[in-house]
Amino acid sequence: MYKLNESKMFADVTNNVAIIINSETGIYYALNSCGSVVFQAILDGCSTQSIADNLKKIENCPSDVDQKLKAFIDDLLQKEIIVEGEQTSKIPNFDEVVVKQDNFEMKVLEYADAQEMLLADPIHDVDEKEGWQPVFKEEKDNNDK
Amino acid sequence: MINNNPLISVMMPTYNNAGYISQAVESVYAQKYDNIEIVVVDDGSTDNTKEVLKKYKGIKYFYIEHKGISFARNIALEKSKGEYIAFCDSDDYWLPGKINTQIQYFKEHPDCEIVFTKYENLFEDEKLKTNKRAMHEKLMEKFLKQYLPSSIIKKELFEKYGNFDENFSGVEDTEFLYRIKRKGANIDHVISDIFYIRRIHGNNVTLNYNKDTIKYITAILRKGVLNK
């Protein structure tokens, strides 16, 4: 089973939208609604089998849901969002409307537009006198000349 | 006599900071710039903030029911008459030359809408500096790289991009910066000298939100994603 890769990832699932931040790269991820509820089940320690079984109980579940789920988990693993963890006895209870609205598609969307904000040196790693504001570009260019 | 310097409105939201606010006000009045208004929005202080401020002439003081810093900032914005908006939180203070340096920068960079200065943290308690902080707190610090209170902003920028989102009281400045950046504002104008002193005293609004930091930051990002 899997759990959040807490060594570098921060995650929050609210209103069926999961946001995951990679604190090392400043990249963050948003999951679509179906992906978010499945991701929450993963964070809860539900087994892949129980997730698949419960998706299949929902009307109009596509026949390839196992492959879709595997692809989703592989994507989360490849992005190092999740790592192997311990299984719990928790059984997922999916909101049918949420899962159906995305046609059982589980998507991981990647964003890099906040990297600048997320990657400044933390206060403990910089000269207290210098602060951690970035050097203004023109000044840096002049210094580099 | 006509004053050729543009009016700068200094927004100073406060909440129970009577012990610090004099230093903030005096640091603003010590600027060698003659067209400043200080707009204090007292967010329901129960200490003697109002009495402390009585000795200063010309402060626009508004007392409101406690509703959080975003609401207070928006009220201050509404009451501000300046062409430019500056910030001095009541527990922080400015260093001499801040306004003139930033106004000069605007003159030299006509397309600039917001210019920051570097800032320095003043730790009231050494323990605050040396304590091993939780990772989520570090993340918050990273997120605060551009520190809004160090900036001066053309007021028209608020008309263009909107005021502070009152759903984000505590990290409203970060949400604001992230929002305007996403919408195309250039937030890379930074003066390389330190002109803003940010006091870290353990009761800072931002630091009080540590336990909810991830929720706040992800909420800011979520809002951005849903609006893409």
CB contact under 8 A, B142 and A118: yes
Kindly report each contact of residues B180-183 with a partner whose C-beta sits within 8 Å and lies 24 or more positions away, as own/partner.
B180/B114, B181/A113, B181/A117, B182/A113, B182/B224, B182/B227
CATH class of the structural domain B8-226 = alpha beta
Which residue did the predictor score with more confidence, A93 or B75? B75
State whether residue A121 sits within 8 Å of chain B by CB: yes
Single pTM value for the model? 0.68
Distance to chain B for A139, nearest Cα, Å: 8
| ipTM passes above 0.85 | no
Pairing relation of β-strands A9-14 and A82-84?
unpaired
Residues of B with CB under 8 A from a CB of A: 116-121, 129, 133, 135-136, 138-139, 141-147, 150, 174, 177-178, 181-182, 188-192, 194, 214-215, 217-219, 221-222, 224-226
Residue numbers in chain B where pLDDT is lower than 70: 1-3, 125-145, 169-170, 201-213
Distance in angstroms (rounded) separating the CA atoms of residues B186 and A34? 35
Half-sphere exposure for A37 (CA within 13 Å, toward CB): 22
Q: Inform me whether the pLDDT recorded for A139 exceeds 80.
A: no
Q: Inform me whether the pLDDT recorded for A84 exceeds 50.
A: yes
- CB count within 10 Å of CB B193 equals 11
Which residue did the predictor score with more confidence, A140 or A86? A86
pLDDT of residue A134: 29
